[in-house]
Amino acid sequence: MTTQRTITVLGATGRTGRRLTDTLLGRGWKVRRVARTARPHPHPAATTHTGDLTDTDFLTTAFTGVDAAYVLVPFDPTAPDVRAHMDDIGSSITDALRRARVPRVVALSSLGAELEHGTGFLTALHAQEQRLTALETDLVLLRPGYFFDNLDPVLPHLRHIGALQDSIAPDVPLPMVAAGDVGAAAADAVEEPEHQGTTIREIRTAVDLTLMDVAAAVGRAQGIGNPPYQQLPDEETITQLLQVGFSDDAARLQVEMHHAFSAGRVAAAGDDPRAPTTVDDYLASRA
């Protein structure tokens, strides 16, 4: 008789964690869903655990006795010191994994996390990768590209603005991906044959896209022709981010990250299989 396997999923109600949860429940896993607030999941093999990710004792309990864990360090745009906040969470997660002796860890990171400086809040993911690789565990680091899902707040307003606006250079090809594809890749990583040490998986679509390409795709999806892409000056971008609730530190880190994108520093290096969802597929799903 096969014993039912158990995984703890951080951010289980988020964009990647939700897909991972539903996929593994469908494959017969038990899932401990961890989130700050969450409704119970209807599946009988899912349990819900609410708590603070900086509470190492809470996380240790959530991790104890599982076969695998999916972990991430969320970015809080309202935090007055983003790096300190992410470091607190990352250290708590790593300490809890060590205490609980979780045998396999799949961690959400990002393309660009291999760089130590000059990438905005991605530097916190670099630090977290360093912490996780020091664990004596089977570790898979997932490094996705820029999420198509970041377009969601823009889409309802684009008709009124008449353009796609951001601070990234218009003609730089960016590795991109749908968050759902990242969750699916995470589920596959959880079930890979056992291996030693750290494995890195880059996740992106087959074709890198400029933001001019993305603007054209949005135009096709919304039937509004070919809206232009407008690169905003840094200070205008910061002002807009402050208006929607970003702290000053978070806004400036966002702009620094966009500088790294514009310089081509955040790029894919490997030949991992490409994620299936295209930008047209993604936008069609949002229509």
Token duo for residue 132: 């996780």
* SS3 (DSSP) at 50: strand
Read off the pTM: 0.95
pLDDT digits (tens, 9 = 90+) for 24-64: 999 999 999 999 888 899 999 999 999 999 999 999 999 99
Q: What is the rounded end-to-end Cα distance, in angstroms, of the chain?
A: 46
- Do the Cβ atoms of 119 and 110 come closer than 8 Å? no
User: What is the per-residue pLDDT across 80-118, written as a single tens digit (0 to 9) for each?
Assistant: 999 999 999 999 999 999 999 999 999 999 999 999 999
Q: How many CB atoms lie within 10 A of CB 209?
A: 22
The closest alpha carbon to 266, from 183, 169, 198, belongs to 169
At 173 the pLDDT is 96
Angle between helices 122-133 and 82-100 (to 10 degrees): 20
Q: What is the pLDDT of residue 1?
A: 47
E strand or H helix that includes residue 34: strand 30-35
Q: Per-residue pLDDT averaged across 180-184, rounded?
A: 98
**Token duo for residue 229:** 């892409």
207-239 confidence digits (pLDDT tens): 999 999 999 999 999 888 889 999 999 999 999
For residue 156, count CB atoms less than 10 angstroms from its CB and return exposed for 0-12, middle for 13-18, buried for 19 or more: exposed
What pLDDT was estimated at residue 160?
79
Contact 163, 223 (CB under 8 A): no
Burial code (b: 16+ CB inside 10 Å, e: under 16) for 107-133 equals bbbbbbbbeeeebbbbbbbbbbbebbe
Q: Is the pLDDT of residue 275 over 80?
A: yes
**For helices 15-26 and 179-190, angle between their N-to-C axes, nearest 10 degrees:** 40
Q: DSSP string of 197-259?
A: SEEEEEE--SS-B-HHHHHHHHHHHHTS--PPEEEPPHHHHHHHHHHTT--HHHHHHHHHHHH
